[in-house]
Amino acid sequence: MSTEPVVAPKPLRVLVIEDSEPDALLLLEELRASGYAPEARRVDNAEDLVDALDKQKWDIVFSDHHMPRFSSTEALEIVRSSALDVPFIIVSGVIGEDAAVAAMRAGAQDYLMKGNLTRLGVAVARELAEAEERRAHRKAERALLAQEEELRIAREVQRQLFPAGSPDLPGYDLAGASRPATVPGGDYFDFIPTPQGRWLVVVGDVTGHGLGSAMLMAAARAYLRALALAGQAFEAILAQARHLLIEDLGEDHFITLLIAELDPATGVWRYVNAGHPTGYVLGAAGAIKARLEAHAAAVGIDRGEERLEPRQIALEKGDAVLLLTDGILAVHSKAGSEFGEARALEYVWDARAKPAAQIISGLLDAAARFGDGPGPREDDMTAVLVKRLAEAARD
């Protein structure tokens, strides 16, 4: 008694283009002998072929070469024009070598002689496997194209987040810049004027990369600008922006924000650091006068009613505030060392006499050179510098 497992026949949707019903039945019988369970339809003219292609999906197409009302050449043209990637095999009693080669060049996968179907099962298995491989390849290509388009849109959204220029603020020099990674993330900075004559200075970072992060940061920018321009007090801007953002973030994202309100007349700097990397206030002598450390959870992590309570310092003439995202601090060299806080502060101090825009640009260049190892950079690099000038600019 045999103990070998019984293998169930493999379902196969077969379209047979054949004027002879007996020949079509012989073909199907050979498929059954090769381990298939064919579900078939036979057609012998263009109209019925078009109808069959419209009404059902087929795994494979067999076609006689010469028929009274039709030919494999015409049938192949119709099948290929339907944009279906289905194996097309010619099964003919009489076909010359030249005609067979021409059919293969036109898109037929194989041809067999009706009197010798011994390799039918092998040919079908091979063509079905190759068709599946082609479909998988096209699916991967479509996914890649979709990803590239999403990244293009994300880069464009991210580019539009940043201010077109720096504020012209007497007694101050402000600048910011951001350089996206290979895969755009959610870095953001902004300078927002208020009706009270103050300025909001914002640096933020949404978790993740791609279009979703860029759209979330675009929402943050819109909320902050709308609330500021509506004349809301700083505390109200913080509370309402936090509430609106939590509604948008869902469970999978959060935003780190360092947002400050600068009163140019007095130098008062009120700020909230919600989970963002530490900011630094550098004195005219180069010492770190204050660290703007995180004192609240990143927006979206704590979903309770935590208030964002601002802290306050006073900027004196000659002071400078440096705000960064972790994309700069976390840049690694080929040797594995980190760019870090010390290198960033040292660069800013050494370049302190230059305009803020040049300092920021140089800092990003320095971090990029430091991390000039193999592979793409994983995170955006963003920095903002606010200098209170030792002397007001003269005309």
Chosen domain end from 137, 171, 187: 137
Mean pLDDT by 10 residues, the chain (395 residues): 68 93 92 93 94 93 88 89 87 72 78 84 91 88 77 69 83 91 74 94 82 78 89 88 81 85 96 93 91 88 72 94 91 86 92 94 92 61 93 50
Number of domains composing the chain: 2
14 within a domain of the structure (yes/no): yes
178 and 319 part of one domain: yes
**CATH (domain of 382):** 3.60.40.10
- 261 and 318 co-located in one domain: yes
pLDDT value at residue 8: 85
Q: Are residues 126 and 251 in the same domain?
A: no
CATH number where 107 lies: 3.40.50.2300
116 and 40 in a common domain: yes
Pairing of strands 36-43, 255-263: unpaired
Read off the tokens for 18.
């054949």
- The CA distance from 205 to 257, in Å, is 7
Residue 132 domain flag: yes
Q: Which two tokens stand for residue 351?
A: 């370049």
Judgement on whether residues 133 and 184 belong to the same structural domain of the protein: no
Phi, psi angles (nearest 5°) of residue 213: -65, -40
pLDDT the model gives residue 306: 67
Do 52 and 17 contact (CB within 8 A), yes or no? no
Domain assignment present for residue 148? The answer is no
Which residue segment(s) compose the domain that 16 sits in?
10-137
pLDDT of the residue at 184: 61
Question: In the prediction, which pLDDT does 185 show?
Answer: 63
In whole angstroms, what is the distance from residue 302 CA to residue 274 CA?
A: 10
pLDDT at 394: 42
Q: What is the pLDDT of residue 358?
A: 96
| Nearest one of 299, 94, 113, 346 to 188, comparing CA atoms | 299
pTM over 0.85: no
